[in-house]
Amino acid sequence: MNIRVYRPGPVHLGMRQQVSSRSDELLPRRLHRPVAIVVVLGFVAALGAGQLMQWRTGSALRVMEQQQSRRVELGEENIRLLASRAKLASRQYVEAVAAVRFDLHAPGKNQVHRVKM
């Protein structure tokens, strides 16, 4: 058996190994700027998305408040119209209008009614 001990070959002059000056760095120095740009862009994007959501919810809240006030107005108008209809349909009002406009009066207790043909 031919078994030899492994010995690494010689390092060629064209190849260099990058030596780290400090081993406690989290990122290499060449990545500081791209990482900072990505972090800033992410922060700006998050702020922009927050402002967009705030604008959308504010707009929806204004529309909801307008609809609520319109609903209250319509409810009050409906109550007023129902009261007006009840007044116009009352017996006293109908008799008063008939007496003024058409000179019609409700018959008395002992009156005789004759129908002309």
If one compares 93 and 113, the residue with the highest pLDDT of the two is 93
Residue 74: which pLDDT band, with cuts at 50, 70 and 90? very high
Q: Which of 1-10, 13-22, 27-36, 98-107 shows the lowest mean pLDDT across its residues? A: 13-22
- Contact assessment for residue 44 and residue 36, using Cβ atoms and an 8 Å cutoff: no
Is a pLDDT exceeding 70 seen at residue 25? Answer: no
What sign has the CA pseudo-torsion 28, 33, 36, 41? Answer: negative
If one compares 45 and 105, the residue with the highest pLDDT of the two is 45
Tokens representing residue 40 in the block: 């800033």
Residue 46: which pLDDT band, with cuts at 50, 70 and 90? very high
Q: Is 111 left (phi over 0), alpha (psi -120 to 50) or beta?
A: beta
How far is 103 from 105, CA to CA, in rounded Å? 7
| Average per-residue pLDDT for the chain | 85
Is a pLDDT exceeding 90 seen at residue 106? Answer: no
Average pLDDT over residues 61-68: 97
Residue 21: which pLDDT band, with cuts at 50, 70 and 90? low
pLDDT value for 16: 58
